[in-house]
Structure 1
C-alpha cells in the first residue's frame, strides 16, 4: 500500500488536446488520483493562465504534440503566456504525460518535451520522467499512464 500522507492533497491536471485523446488519458489519471485521496482539479489549457500554477505544488500535464511539433490549439495561448510571464514555481513538482506518434519523427513528443523544459525553467522540479504514449491511446496505454501517475503521486509524497 502506498503511503501518500506526505503529499499535498491538491493536484492540478492540465490538459492540452486537439482530438480529445489527451482528455481521455487525463480523465483516467484524475479518477485514479482521486481514488487515492487527492483533490484533483482538471483544467483545459484553454482556461489556464500562468499565475494559476503558483497556487499549486503538484502539477500533472497531459498534452499531445500536434502537426509539426506544435502544441494543440487549446494550449497555444497558455504556453505563449507561460513563456512570457514565467511564474516563479520553485517548490512545485510536476510530471508530463505526452501523446504523440513516432510516424511524425522528428516531432515525436516535441510539445511534451518543451513543456517539461518550460516548467523546469520556471523553477518547478520534474518529479517523474516524461511518460510517452505512441499513437492510440489504447486501453493498455491508458493503464500505463495511470500506473505512471500513481508513481508520480508517490514521488510527490517522497520528494
Structure 2
C-alpha cells in the first residue's frame, strides 16, 4: 500500500521551507511518499487526498499566521479532517513573546477540524542548525511511525 503525506507550508526567508524539505527527507526515509508544496499552490480540499498532513508556517507579528496562509486557514472550516493524521511545524523567533504562535494556531485549527494530532508541533528558531536538521528528519520519521505509514 502506498501512503501519501502532504507538507504544505509558507516561508518568507526560506527557513520554514528548509524545515519542510528536511522533514520530507525523514518521511521518505521512513518509507512514505510526500508532496511538499507552498501553501499558495494547495487547495484546502487537497488535504482530503492525503493520509498524513503537515502544515508549516512562520510566525508573524504578535504570534500570528502570515498573510499568505490566512485564506487557506479560513477555507479549512469547509472540511473535516476526522481520521486524518496531522501535525504543525514552523520557524520561530524566541526573542518574541509569542514564540511559534503560528504553530499553535495551526495546531488548534487541526484539533477543531478533528484531525488526529500524532506529535507535538515542531518549533525551530530561525534557520535550523545541523542538530535541528537532524531533529527535523527524526520528526518526519516519527510522524510516519506514529501513524503506521511506514513499509
Q: Fold-level match, TM-score > 0.5?
A: yes
Could you list the runs of 5+ residues in structure 1 that have no partner in the other structure? none
In structure 1, what is the Cα distance between the partners aligned to 2:6 and 2:14? 18
Task: Find out whether 1:81 has 2:72 as its counterpart.
Answer: no
After TM superposition, the score normalised by the length of structure 1 is 0.85
Task: Find out whether 1:70 has 2:59 as its counterpart.
Answer: no
In structure 1, what is the Cα distance between the partners aligned to 2:113 and 2:107? 10
5 Å-filtered alignment, 1:41-60, equals 41-60=35-54
In structure 2, what is the Cα distance between the partners aligned to 1:139 and 1:61? 22
Task: Find out whether 1:149 has 2:140 as its counterpart.
Answer: yes
Task: Find out whether 1:128 has 2:122 as its counterpart.
Answer: no
Aligned-residue Cα RMSD (Å) equals 1.8
Could you list the runs of 5+ residues in structure 2 that have no partner in the other structure? none
In structure 2, what is the Cα distance between the partners aligned to 1:26 and 1:20? 10
After TM superposition, the score normalised by the length of structure 2 is 0.89
CA displacement at 1:11 relative to structure 2: 0.6
User: Runs of at least 4 residues of structure 1 off by over 4 A?
Assistant: none
Task: Find out whether 1:103 has 2:110 as its counterpart.
Answer: no
